[in-house]
C-alpha cells in the first residue's frame, strides 16, 4: 500500500476516533440531531497542556446549555444551533485558573472540536497574542506548527493559547500543530484571555515535492578528482517516496543513485549522497595545459501520490593540470 493511501486511512481513523471519544460519561459522541450542531473538546491547563482540568464547566450561548468535563477533561454539547456561538469554560474546582471565552462557529449536522486552554491566574490579563507563521499555504495532509506569544502588561507569559480552526480545512492540536485535511481556505485562531488573533490558511490539493535547498559541495575538485557531497532538503504533504541523484558526466555517461534520508521525515527532510569523481581524463594540449571537466547534477523527487519534481542543474568542476613552467634560461 502506498504512503499516500496509508495517510488517507490514518486520518480517516483519527476522525473516527475523535468522533467516538467519550465526552461526559462512557458513551461515544453520536452525530448531531438533524438540523443541529455539536461542540466537543477537552479543557487543559494553559501552562501545561498535558494536564486536563477535571470538573471544568463549559457553557455555550445560545442556547445557554452547560456541561462538566469528565475525568479525561472532555466535554460534549449537542443540539446546538448553527452560527457563531460563545463558549465559556471555567474551573470552579480550581481557583488557580481563569475563565476562558471564545466564539465558536458551528454548522448544522457537524461536530466542532475545540480544545480549551485555561490560563493560570498568575498570567494576569493578556494584552496581546501573536501567531507565526502568517498566511501559510499548506498541501493537503501536510503539517504546520504554529507558534504563539502571549503578552501581558509585564511582558511575555509562558502559556499556550487556545487554538481553533475556522473552516473545514483541517485540525489543530493543543501544541499548535495543524494538519491539513481538506483543500480550501480557512483561518487559524489563537485566543488568550479576552484577546485573540488569527491568520488565513490555504490548503491546496496534492503538489509535487518542494526542493527548498540543493547543495553540491565542493564546487571544484583538483585534477586528481575526489568526493562531492550532494544534499537536498525536500518537503511534501503526501510524503516523499524516492529521491534520486543524477550526475551527467563529461564523457556522456549518466550516474544515478538513490539518496537516503539523513535528517527529518519523509514530509520534511534532508537527503544526501556522495559521488566520487575520477581524475580529469582530458588530454593536455601541446603546452601541457589540461582543460577542466564539468559535471552536472540534477535531483529527481517522487512523492507517494506519484507526483515528480526535477531540480535545476547544479555544476561542479574537476580542474585540469596547468602547463609546466618554462625551463630556466641557458646559463642559469
Phi first, then psi: what are they for 18, rounded to 5°? Answer: -60, -40
Arithmetic mean of pLDDT, 200-206: 95
Would you say residue 24 has pLDDT above 70?
no
Q: pLDDT tens across 56-111, in order? A: 999 999 999 999 999 999 999 999 999 999 999 999 999 999 999 999 999 999 88
232 Cα distance to chain centroid: 18
Local confidence band at 3 (pLDDT 50, 70, 90 cut-offs): very low
Question: Are the folds of 3-204 and 210-318 the same?
Answer: yes
Would you say residue 116 has pLDDT above 80?
yes
Would you say residue 39 has pLDDT above 70?
yes
**The pLDDT of residue 328:** 79
Q: Which residue has the higher pLDDT, 255 or 305?
A: 255
Question: Which grid cell sits at 140?
Answer: 493537503
Which region among 14-18, 205-209, 258-262 has the lowest average model confidence (pLDDT)? 14-18
| Helix ranges restricted to H, the chain | 3-20
pTM of model > 0.75: no
- Mean pLDDT for the chain overall: 89
Q: Is 108 exposed, middle or buried (0-12, 13-18, 19+ CB in 10 A)?
A: middle
Is residue 62 reached through a cis peptide bond, with omega within 30 degrees of 0 on the bond before it?
yes
Would you say residue 22 has pLDDT above 80?
no
**The pLDDT of residue 185:** 96
**The pLDDT of residue 120:** 95
Q: What count of other Cβ atoms lies within 10 Å of the Cβ of residue 161?
A: 27
Show me where the domains of the chain are located: 3-204, 210-318
CATH topology of domain 210-318: Immunoglobulin-like (2.60.40)
3-state secondary structure of 70: coil
Q: Cell 493578556 belongs to which residue?
A: 126
Q: How far apart are CA 119 and CA 125, in angstroms?
A: 9
Phi first, then psi: what are they for 125, rounded to 5°? Answer: -100, 110
The residues near 17 (Cβ < 8 Å, ≥ 6 apart) are none
Would you say residue 122 has pLDDT above 50?
yes
Q: Which residue has the higher pLDDT, 62 or 323?
A: 62
Q: How far apart are CA 31 and CA 167, in angstroms?
A: 19
Domain 3-204 has CATH 3.40.225.10: no
Amino acid at each position: 500500500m502506498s504512503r499516500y493511501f496509508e495517510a488517507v486511512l490514518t486520518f480517516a481513523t483519527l476522525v473516527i476516533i475523535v468522533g467516538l471519544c467519550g465526552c461526559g460519561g462512557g458513551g461515544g459522541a453520536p452525530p448531531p440531531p438533524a438540523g443541529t450542531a455539536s461542540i466537543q473538546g477537552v479543557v487543559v491547563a494553559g501552562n501545561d497542556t498535558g494536564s486536563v482540568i477535571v470538573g471544568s464547566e463549559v457553557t455555550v450561548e445560545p442556547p445557554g446549555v452547560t456541561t462538566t468535563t469528565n475525568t479525561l477533561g472532555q466535554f460534549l454539547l449537542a443540539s446546538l444551533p448553527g452560527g457563531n456561538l460563545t463558549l465559556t469554560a471555567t474551573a470552579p474546582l480550581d481557583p488557580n485558573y481563569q475563565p476562558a471565552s471564545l466564539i465558536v462557529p458551528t454548522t448544522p449536522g457537524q461536530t466542532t472540536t475545540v480544545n480549551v486552554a485555561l490560563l493560570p491566574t498568575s498570567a494576569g490579563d493578556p494584552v496581546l497574542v501573536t501567531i507565526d507563521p502568517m498566511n501559510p499555504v499548506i498541501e493537503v495532509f501536510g503539517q504546520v506548527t504554529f507558534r504563539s506569544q502571549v503578552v501581558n502588561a509585564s511582558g511575555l507569559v509562558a502559556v499556550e493559547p487556545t487554538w481553533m480552526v475556522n473552516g473545514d480545512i483541517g485540525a489543530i492540536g493543543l501544541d499548535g500543530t495543524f494538519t491539513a485535511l481538506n483543500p480550501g481556505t480557512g483561518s487559524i485562531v489563537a485566543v488568550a484571555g479576552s484577546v485573540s488573533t488569527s491568520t488565513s490558511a490555504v490548503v491546496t490539493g496534492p503538489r509535487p515535492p518542494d526542493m527548498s535547498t540543493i547543495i553540491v559541495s565542493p564546487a571544484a575538485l583538483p585534477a586528481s578528482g575526489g568526493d562531492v557531497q550532494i544534499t537536498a532538503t525536500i518537503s511534501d504533504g503526501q510524503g516523499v517516496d524516492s529521491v534520486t541523484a543524477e550526475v551527467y558526466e563529461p564523457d556522456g555517461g549518466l550516474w544515478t543513485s538513490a539518496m537516503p534520508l539523513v535528517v527529518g521525515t519523509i514530509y520534511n527532510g534532508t537527503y544526501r549522497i556522495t559521488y566520487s569523481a575520477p581524475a580529469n581524463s582530458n588530454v593536455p594540449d601541446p603546452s601541457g595545459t589540461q582543460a577542466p571537466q564539468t559535471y552536472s547534477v540534477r535531483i529527481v523527487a517522487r512523492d507517494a501520490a506519484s507526483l515528480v519534481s526535477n531540480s535545476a542543474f547544479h555544476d561542479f568542476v574537476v580542474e585540469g593540470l596547468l602547463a609546466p613552467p618554462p625551463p630556466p634560461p641557458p646559463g642559469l
